[in-house]
Amino acid sequence: MTRGHFLNISDVTKTFETPRGLYPAIQGCTLTVGQGEFVTLIGHSGCGKSTLLSIVAGLTHPTTGGVILEGKEVTGPGPDRGMVFQQHALLPWLSAHDNVLLAVEEVFPSLSRKEQADRVMHFLEIVGLSEAFQKYPAELSGGMCQRVGIARALAMRPKVLLLDEPFGALDALTRGHLQDEVLRIWQKFGQTVLMVTHDVDEAILLSDRIALMTNGPGATIGEVVRVDLPRPRNRRVIAGMPAYHDLKVRILEFLYERYELVS
Amino acid sequence: MIQEKSVTSEVQRTPAPDRLSVPSMLKRVPVGGILLPLVGAALLVGVWAVVSQLAPFLPNPVQTVTKSWDLIRHPFFDQGPNNKGIGWQVIYSLGRVGLGFGLAIAVGIPAGLVLGLSSVTRKMWDPVVQVLRPVSPLAWLPLGLATFQAATPAAVFTIFITALWPILLNTSAGVQQVSPAYVQVGRILQLSRRKMMTRILIPAALPHILSGLRVSLGVAWLVIVASEMLTGGVGIGFFVWDEWNNLSLEHIILAIAVIGFVGLALDRLMLAAARRITNQPLG
C-alpha cells in the first residue's frame, strides 16, 4: 500500500432523480488521500461536496465510479469511516458518555465493560470533555456537542475520519478552538482526515491538500492545491506568511471568479 | 475549555421591568400558584349556588356536601356487590381502563412501528385506520357484548379500541419523523435491525409514543364512564347511572368531581412517567 493511495475516490458520479428529471449533482470526481493526510473538499454550498463525502461514508451509493479504502471497495457505511456530522447527530436520549459508549460497544464488542468505559473516557478526555461526561446533549453547548461527536468518531478507531462541515454551525470563537483541537488530534494520532468545508481559512489552516470543487450541476474537483505551510501550524503565525496569502488568493480566485455561484 | 456560560448570568441580574402589571403583582404573592386556582374554584361554586337557586332540580353546594357526606367519609365501604363505596367504584373502573389500555399498548406500539417503518404497510392500512378512527368507541360496545357475552370484557374491549388509535398513529408518526442523522449514525455503526430498532428508532420516537399514550389514557377515562353506564356492574360510570335511577343528583355531582380528579391524576402520572423515561421536558 503506497502512502498516496490509501483512500481512492475514482470517477464518482451521482445523479439524483427529481420530479423535474435527472439531476447530475457530481460528475467524474477523482481524488486520492494518503495515509495520515488531511485533505479538504471546498466549494460553494450546494455544490455537492457533502454528497461526495456521503459517498465515501457509504451512506449514499454513487451512480457510477467507486471508492476504495485500503484496497477494499466501499459498499456501505462502516465504522472504519468515522463521521462527524454538521449538526453533531448525538442521540439526545443518551449522555455524552453513553453516546460514545454506543459506538465503542458496537466496534469493540470483545472488550470488557470496564475496558469499554475506559475507552469512552479516554476519548472524551482527548476532546477535553471528561468532566461533562454525564451531561445530555441538551445540556451542552453546540461546541461541546461537536466535541462529543468527534470523540465518538475517533473512538471507532476509523481508518479515515470524515468531517462534514463540522464547525459550520458554531460561532467564530468556538470554531477557532475546535479547529485547533482537531489539528492537535490529527498530529497526535496521524489520523487520515477528509473534511468538507466552505471556509477558506479553515481549509488552509488544517489541510495538507485542498480539493477545489466547481459548481453543480455536474460539480467536479477542478483543482487540487497543496498547502506548503510548515507544521505545527499556528493560525496567527501562518496568517502573516506570504505563502498563506498567495494560497488564499488562489483559492478565492477559483471560487469567486472562475466558478462564482450563479443565482 | 471554552467560556460559553458567562453570558447568561449577566442577563439574569437585570430586574424585571413590568412592575405594575397585575400578573407580576400576583407573582410576588408566594401562594399565587395556589390562590388563583382556589379563586377560580370558588367562582365556579358561586355560579353553581346562584344557578341552583334558579333551577329547583339542581342541589346547591351545601346540600351536595351534606347529602353525600357518608360517601365522602367512607369511600371504601363494601356491603355486597351492589353497594360499594365510591373508592371501590373508581378502582373497578381503573382496572378496566388499565386492562384495555395495556392491551392497546401491546398491540398499538408494535403495529405503529410496522406502519411507521414500512410504506407498503402504511398504504395498505392507512385508509382503514382513517375510517375507523373517527368512530365513537361506544359503537363497538354492542359487538363486544355480543362477542364476550359479559359486561366487563365488553367494556375492556371498548377501552382497547379507544386507546388503540392515538397510540398507533403517534407511534407511526414518531418513527417516520426520526431524524435521518440518527439513522445514519446507526448505519455507520452497522447496527443490526433489532438494535437499530431498540437503540435508535424507539428511543427517538419515544416522546411521540408517550404523548400518544397520554392522549389514549385521557380518552379511555372519558369512555369508561359512558361504557359502564351502558353495561352496568361495579364502576364509577355505573355508579352515576345508578344514582340517576335513585334521582340522587348530589351523588352524581360528587361522582363528577371524583371522575375529574382521577382523570387529572392519571394525566399527571403519565406526564411524570414520560418525563422520567425521556429525560426531557414534554408539553
* pLDDT for residue B13: 42
Does domain A3-80+158-258 fall under CATH 3.30.1330.90? My reply is no
Q: Which residues of A touch B200 (CB under 8 A)?
A: 91
CB B71 within 8 A of CB B85: yes
Check B1 against A85: CB less than 8 A apart. Answer: no
Closest partner residue to A102 (CB to CB) among B2, B199, B206 is B199
CB B171 within 8 A of CB B243: no
Extents of the domains making up chain B: 22-58, 72-278
Check B188 against A59: CB less than 8 A apart. Answer: yes
pTM: 0.79
Check A79 against B182: CB less than 8 A apart. Answer: no
- pLDDT by residue for chain B (283 residues), tens digit each? 444 444 343 344 444 444 455 555 555 655 678 888 899 999 999 999 999 999 888 999 999 999 989 888 888 888 887 788 899 999 999 999 999 999 999 999 999 999 999 999 999 999 999 999 999 999 999 999 999 999 899 999 999 999 999 999 999 999 999 999 999 999 999 999 999 999 999 999 999 999 999 999 999 999 999 999 998 888 999 999 999 999 999 999 999 999 999 999 999 999 998 888 876 544 3
Closest partner residue to A143 (CB to CB) among B2, B203, B278 is B2
∠ CA B179-B182-B188, nearest 5°, is 140
Check A177 against B2: CB less than 8 A apart. Answer: yes
* pLDDT for residue A216: 76
By residue count, chain B amounts to 283
Q: Which residues of B touch A138 (CB under 8 A)?
A: 280
Q: Average pLDDT for residues A28-42, to the nearest whole number? A: 95
∠ CA B175-B208-A102, nearest 5°, is 60
CB B263 within 8 A of CB B220: no
Nine-digit cell at A176? 477557532
Q: Three-state SS for A156?
A: coil
Extents of the domains making up chain A: 3-80+158-258, 90-156
* pLDDT for residue B29: 58
Assigned CATH for B72-278: 1.10.3720.10
